Chain A
Amino acid sequence: MSEQITDVLLRSLHVSGLATAIACLLGVPAGVLLGRSRRRWARLARLLAHTLLALPPVVVGLVLYIVFSRSGPLGNWGWLFTTRIMVLAQVILATPFVVSVVASAMSAVPVELELQLQAIGASRLQARLLALREALPGIALAAAAAFGRSISEVGAVLMVGGNIEQHTRVLTTAIVLETGRGHFRLALLLGAILLTLALAANAALLALSARTGVALPRAAAE
């Protein structure tokens, strides 16, 4: 049984870790851009990102299922019921999170700071990077939140992954299955592992912020 748990745990880490990394890769630059721009399209894009926070995972699952099913437009990719499409689903869900948290963190850093740094000889890029450094706690928070959302998400990965043993089964889908089978102890154990992962991610975040001396925003410290 412990082998099965390890297998599911590792797959969860793989899928959600990869999804978080990709979401950050896409979301951090977009968030920085949107947090700094005052143009109309930037404000609309932020509104869109905020709206997408409320995107129901099952809707993402449904759309991806249609697109990647055998008769769908991307059916010949053969992604349905693989971990690839699970990563894709979680990237779609996590990216708006990263974008809006990073945008908020970035817009909390005054533009004036960048101007003042330029006034002592910084190039625009150097000034922007230092402003980004000030927003670092917010960016770390965004990454942790994205990981938390991914690893605890069940609707989308269940629909597009299919919960196939040793193939696409992850912690959350295993919990659903074991609960249905009446294996409550196992389900609870998996739940405890899930919580421990969230704890570990946040502890790492705290340790990181303590070491860099960058203060966490209050919401993250509590």
Chain B
Amino acid sequence: MTERRLGGVAVSAATELLVAEGLRRSRGRTFQLAVDRLTLRAGEILCVLGPTGAGKSTLLRLLAGIERPDEGCVTWPGGDGAGRRGRPLLVPQRPLLVTGTVRYNVALGLRFRKTATAELTRLVDRVAERLELTALLDRPARQLSGGETRLVALARALVLEPDVLLVDEPTADLDPGRGALVERVLTETARRRGAGVVWTTHNLFQARRVATTVMLLCGGEVVEVGPAEAFFRTPRTPLARRFLEGELLY
């Protein structure tokens, strides 16, 4: 289904939102990550699984373009080439907010895009409602709890209606109710709005609930990648089997 031209530009660009090829990354002499090929289509939720230190966050940061790979490239064929539209947005594992109200923080990305004030207010209000943050909008952002901070970080990315959203353990410190809310909002973003989501998690139950595709990383290498259902029912590799059975992998 995916034909490729020389140089790695996807021809069937209509559905491919993100293509990463030949990614290699080391820090000093320590090898961190190698991913030969990763594609993401509209509506797809790719769950990246793997033990701590497997390279999940590194992968997301490379895809977001805030860290550079030593080799390989990441392209988003849906974008306009100038790089801004269609660019994957990252909700990091430990989000940092700036001084100011929650509203100010959520609106930041829209300000970067020079969105008009009325439109900006409307979009911020709408995303706040979706994530049940409305009551927090006028609170100082730096005084929020860890869970609230995470929700605000999600809101400041979602408000931009990205084609590709990269979320790094988005429910890690949320209570069950808010965790379910985030799962709902993100799956909705993928299914109804046709965004592609790359989602790292340690929660296998969550991955079963939300993933359409699964990638298992271990020690910076891709162990297995494929449709979620098949991965959970009949993992192909012994390593994946052991991972699903709850063994510690090294």
- A residues engaging B (CB < 8 A)? 110, 112-113, 115-123, 126, 130, 133-134, 213-215
Contacts and interface: CB of A to CB of B under 8 A. Distances in A.
B103 interface: no
Contact of A120 (B61, B100, B140, B156): B156
B89 interface: yes
Contact of A113 (B65, B96, B100): B96
A122 B96 CA distance: 14
Contact of B112 (A113, A116, A122): A122
A215 B61 CA distance: 30
Given A116-B66, A120-B156, A120-B160, A214 B90 contact: no
A119 B109 CA distance: 9
Interface of B: 61, 64-67, 84, 87, 89-90, 92, 94-96, 98-100, 108-109, 112-113, 140, 142, 153, 156-157, 160
For the complex of A and B, 6 pairs with smallest distance between CB atoms: A119-B90, A120-B109, A115-B66, A113-B96, A121-B112, A119-B64
Contact of B90 (A113, A116, A213): A116
A213 B140 contact: yes
A129 B67 CA distance: 20
Contacts of B66: 115-116, 118-119
18 contacts: A110-B96, A112-B94, A112-B96, A116-B90, A116-B96, A116-B153, A117-B98, A119-B65, A120-B89, A121-B84, A121-B160, A122-B112, A126-B112, A130-B108, A133-B98, A213-B140, A214-B99, A215-B142
B113 A121 contact: yes
A214 B140 CA distance: 10
Contacts, number: 57
A37 B64 CA distance: 23
Instruction: Select the residue from A113, A117, A121, A130 with max chain B CB neighbours within 10 A.
Output: A121
Contacts of B65: 118-119
Contacts of A126: 112
A123 B140 CA distance: 24
Given A130-B98, A134-B98, A213-B140, A117 B108 contact: yes
A133 B97 CA distance: 12
A116 B68 CA distance: 14
Contacts of A110: 96
A208 B108 CA distance: 23
B108 A116 contact: no
Contacts of A118: 65-66
A214 B98 CA distance: 10
Residue in A113, A115, A116 whose Cβ sees the most chain B Cβ within 10 Å: A116
B212 to A, nearest CB: 23
B203 to A, nearest CB: 23
Contacts of A121: 84, 87, 89, 109, 112-113, 160
